[in-house]
Amino acid sequence: MRTLLHAQECREQDQRVAQQLRISGFELMQRAGQAATDILVERWPEAARVSVLCGKGNNAGDGYLVATLAQRLGLIVQLIQVDPKPLEGDADLARQLALREGIVPCAADERINGDVIVDALLGTGLKGLLRAPYAEAVNQINQHAAPVLSLDIPTGVATDTGAITGVAVVADVTVTFIADKIGLHTGAALSCVGELLLRDLGAPRMVREVGIPLLFESDFLTAQIAPDAYKHARGYLLVIGGDHNMGGAPLLTAEAALRSGAGLVTVATRVEHRSAILARRPELMVIDAEDQLMFKTLLEKADAIAIGPGLGTSQWARDLIHSVEVSGKPVLVDADGLRLWQRSQSATPVVLTPHMAEAAAMLGVPVSVVQADRMGAAAALTERFGAAVILKGPGSIVSLPRLTDVSLPERLAATRLGICGHGNPGMATAGMGDVLSGISGALLAAGESAGYAAAYGMCLHSLCGDQAAKRRGQRAMLASDVIDSL
């Protein structure tokens, strides 16, 4: 399992790796410089000129070494020293080596002229808002036509959160060293990272087994269907939603639940949607949600409930939410249901699946606060509602309550936070969240824990989204294409 580190953990790892390898910090920096230079000449073999923009700290040291190695290979090097403050430690050793090689740093206002640009401005050293002269340098990089190689993390991206602090380098390739970083995998950062490459610089694997897990579908063990299985044993999911003119949402949820292994699925919705749902998927059952006797009977029979897709916020919706809140059944809440969900710290298994705007509304904060710290927002929702939370979006995040669950990967069970390693921007389209609700809802109905239903459901959904994108293309894919991949 790949793990992701915070900035401070990265610095501590660098020190431990140097100790384990019995080399100096400067030798470790030389390995990073060589790895980055190898990528530069491999990806852009026709480049004759390279512009290296250096800031401060060890990231600048990496940049000086790239400049030195590139010149030795015959490239014309332009090294722009953006920060006038003197370098210290290993970074200064790298600078002294470059000077001995005849590389003369240019001032910050020098115009970039390289065929390739190397971003060695800040790396993981960013703290707070990106200010002058770094912001100006980032803008100059982004306005230039040359491809960009960022070292460790694009300048302007927050290592711990993936947030962008005003402006950030938009890289074509990012090479990160020794350990992967949280900020490379979630939020606005995904628009800046480009192709991500990890170079471990020879670090022993045992040293790097810390941090937040980057989760993939293959990290989870899935139960096989028992030879003597029957439909009732495979889980009965009740899907509730679909107010007037919104019948497609619960249909997508219910169909995804069937494709995810649920033995029985009933949709409780407006009666006007029954014919269309059955015409599309006759394996489903459909009831009028206003038939109180039938609804109460099925609420008692269901193993789990998924409520919210197309639900709306009318009194009809509020009555349905209340019935579910007092049912005591495992429940997944999505979409409009999240606006109405009042129960906190529920004793029954609950999965919440908000996108950033829904999360902001539930926490009573602006969307910008959620995006500034997506992991913190997901954890805050778990704390407030006692629920497993999937915070959807680029680099979806799962946050789990304080429960022991042997079915979860060990690292996720320990951290209770994880980032999805699958997914693509084509999934930002109508109905995708409804499909996720069906997948995780089916897992709840099968008797899985809320944590497992959230974490595995998130990864399976995103993996199927990637497969659908390969078939259809990101622009053309539909939510129903994800169901076809299940």
Co-location of 238 and 187 in the same domain: no
**Mean pLDDT value across residues 398-411:** 87
The pLDDT tens digits for 49-87 are 999 999 989 999 999 999 999 999 999 999 999 998 899
Point out the domain boundary residue: 210, 230, 262: 210
pLDDT at residue 347 is higher than 80 = no
- How far is residue 79's CA from residue 67's CA, in Å, rounded to a whole number? 7
> Which pLDDT does position 295 carry in this prediction?
97
- For the cut 80, the answer to whether the pLDDT of residue 403 exceeds it is no
pTM for this model (two decimals): 0.94
For residues 227 and 188, state if they share a domain.
no
CATH of the domain at 94: 3.40.50.10260
C-alpha 182: how far from its chain's center? 9
CA 219 to chain centroid: 16
- Nearest-5° Cα angle at 259, 257 to 261: 75
Answer whether 390's CB lies under 8 Å from 352's CB.
yes
Average model confidence (pLDDT) for the chain?
Answer: 95
Query: With left for phi above 0 and alpha for psi between -120 and 50, is residue 123 left, alpha or beta?
Result: left
Strand order in the sheet with 350-352: 180-181, 2-5, 212-215, 417-420, 397-399, 388-391, 350-352, 331-333, 304-307, 236-240, 264-269, 285-288
Domain check: are 192 and 329 in the same one?
Answer: no
With beta carbons less than 8 A apart as the criterion, state whether 215 and 421 touch: yes
Q: Is the pLDDT of residue 346 over 90?
A: no
373 and 390 together in one domain: yes
- pLDDT over 90 at 223, yes or no: no
Same domain, 260 and 178: no
| Strand 417-420 to 236-240 pairing | unpaired
- The Cα 462–Cα 428 span in angstroms is 11
> For residues 378 and 110, which has the higher predicted lDDT (pLDDT)?
378
- 21 in helix, strand or coil? helix
For residue 214, CA distances in Å to 79, 397, 451, 456 come to: 35, 10, 16, 12
357 phi/psi in degrees, rounded to 5: -70, -40
pLDDT confidence bin for 344, thresholds 50/70/90: confident
Name the β-bridge partners of 174: 150, 196
Confidence of residue 206 (pLDDT cuts 50, 70, 90): low
State the burial class of residue 120 (Cβ atoms within 10 Å of its Cβ: 0-12, 13-18, 19+).
Answer: buried
For the segment 226-283, what is each residue's pLDDT rounded down to a tens digit? 889 999 889 999 999 999 999 999 999 999 999 999 999 999 999 999 999 999 999 9
Residue closest to 442 by CA, chosen among 238, 277, 282 = 238
Last residue of a domain, one of 210, 231, 249: 210
Q: How many domains does the chain have?
A: 2
Give 253-263 pLDDT, tens digit per residue.
999 999 999 99
3-state secondary structure (DSSP) of residue 176: strand
Scan for tokens 């941090």, then name that residue.
211
> Do both 307 and 192 map to the same domain?
no
304, 177: one domain: no
Q: Is 321 within 8 Å of 307 (Cβ atoms)?
A: yes
Q: Percent of the chain having pLDDT more than 90?
A: 87
User: Is 108's pLDDT higher than 90?
Assistant: no
* Domain stop point among 149, 179, 210: 210
Q: Are residues 134 and 173 in the same domain?
A: yes
| Contacts of 281 by beta carbon, 8 Å cutoff, 6+ apart | 251, 254, 255, 258
CATH value at residue 320:
3.40.1190.20
In this model, does residue 196 exceed pLDDT 80? yes
Q: Is the pLDDT of residue 207 over 70?
A: no
Which residues make beta-bridge pairs with 237? Answer: 265, 304
pLDDT band at 345 (very low <50, low <70, confident <90, very high): confident
Note whether 192 and 224 are same-domain residues: no
User: Is a pLDDT exceeding 70 seen at residue 208?
Assistant: no
Q: Which residues of 244-258 are buried (b: 16+ CB within 10 A; e: fewer)?
A: eebbbbbbbbbbbbb
Instruction: Give pLDDT, residue 209.
Output: 57
**Segments forming the whole domain that contains residue 446:** 217-485
Residues 228, 156, single domain; the answer is no
98 with 192, same domain: the answer is yes
193 shares its domain with 241: no
